[in-house]
Amino acid sequence: MSDTPEKNDEATPATDSAANDAPRLRPTPDPAFEAAGLKAETADGVARITLNRPERLNSLNAALCAALNQALTRAATDPGVRCVLITGAGRAFCAGQDLADVDIDGEKPREIGDILENDINPVVRLMHGMDKPVVCAVNGVAAGAGANIALAGDIVVAAESARFIQAFCKIGLMPDGGGTWLLPRLAGTARALGMSLLGEPLDARGAEAWGLIWKCVADDTFAETVEDICRTLANGPTMALALAKRALAVSGTNSLEAHLELERDFQASAATSDDYREGVRAFIAKRKPEFKGR
């Protein structure tokens, strides 16, 4: 949840063999997506999802969140998708909740709790829970819930001009969208408190230095870097990547003994995949592996 900055402010891992028979490009012919301010297409194993309300800095309303949840659900269950990319159109990634949609002084203002439960929390759950790597390409300002959706990605790449703002305190709210869970895990409690209580912008270089994101890149190489990462993930060993994501997700609550057992079981599963056999054969032959995602 956040106010929108003013305009002058800057299960089983998916290893189905059908993935390899999927069409190279499958635009989503869904007018409802476009009307809601979302673009979605699948190309070369990558589901590309773009928040497309640039005139509102891609701020979130009920329609956009419904479309985003639907697009993520499709990507999570589509055997032709091996990587998911989320980014924003224009000069923002996402400016958080569109307060015009809340209509606080209207006859029927939307309840904040309902917005979180029905609109925003499902997005975060889908991103964390799907057995596919989620890349967030932060092309500009990411504020409020928009910042926390961005940081929920498995790999977060930010353009040098991007900024992250926990702007909630500016309108009398606390961070949501998983922010109070994620921030201390990524940057430590002291920095999480500073971001949450002061609401000061953090530039992309600072976010990288704090460990909030994977990488900050120059604006002029941002798109190319994002495509390289997505291509690498979409051509990777899909089951192994999914199992690694699962294992890391529970590492903070597992004991060492429990986690060693989990790694044993997950690794045994990965070793049953065709990609494991291909990887070993390629290593021995000193060639590049050709993983098929199964």
Q: State the CATH number of the domain containing residue 83.
A: 3.90.226.10
> Could you tell me if 29 and 135 lie in one domain?
yes
> Could you tell me if 69 and 121 lie in one domain?
yes
> Could you tell me if 218 and 251 lie in one domain?
no
> Could you tell me if 259 and 173 lie in one domain?
no
Which of 192, 212, 234 delimits the end of a domain? 234
Q: Is residue 6 part of a domain?
A: no
> Could you tell me if 226 and 243 lie in one domain?
no
Residue listed under structure tokens 């192994």: 240
Residue 26 pLDDT? 54
Predicted structure pTM score: 0.88
Residue 104 pLDDT? 80
> Could you tell me if 77 and 204 lie in one domain?
yes
> Could you tell me if 71 and 185 lie in one domain?
yes
Rounded-to-integer distance, Cα 206 and Cα 210, Å: 6
Residue 16 pLDDT? 38
Buried b (16+ CB within 10 A) or exposed e, 42-72: bbbbbbbbbbbbeebbbbbbbbbbbbbbbbb
Amino acid at 119: D
Residue 29 pLDDT? 53
**Signed CA dihedral, 192, 196, 197, 203: sign only:** positive
Task: State which H helix or E strand residue 212 sits in.
Answer: none
The count of domains in the chain is 2
Q: Is residue 11 part of a domain?
A: no
> Could you tell me if 247 and 229 lie in one domain?
no
> Could you tell me if 134 and 224 lie in one domain?
yes
Task: State which H helix or E strand residue 176 sits in.
Answer: none
Which of 234, 250, 266 delimits the end of a domain? 234
Give the chain's length.
Answer: 294
All residue ranges of the chain with pLDDT < 70 are 1-29
Residue listed under structure tokens 């703002």: 165
Residue 264 pLDDT? 97
> Could you tell me if 223 and 252 lie in one domain?
no
> Could you tell me if 268 and 226 lie in one domain?
no
Domain span holding position 182: 17-234
Residue 27 pLDDT? 53
Bridge-partner residues for 47, per DSSP? 42, 84
- Give 242-262 pLDDT, tens digit per residue: 999 999 999 999 999 999 999
Bridge-partner residues for 159, per DSSP? 217
> Could you tell me if 21 and 150 lie in one domain?
yes
Q: Is residue 93 part of a domain?
A: yes
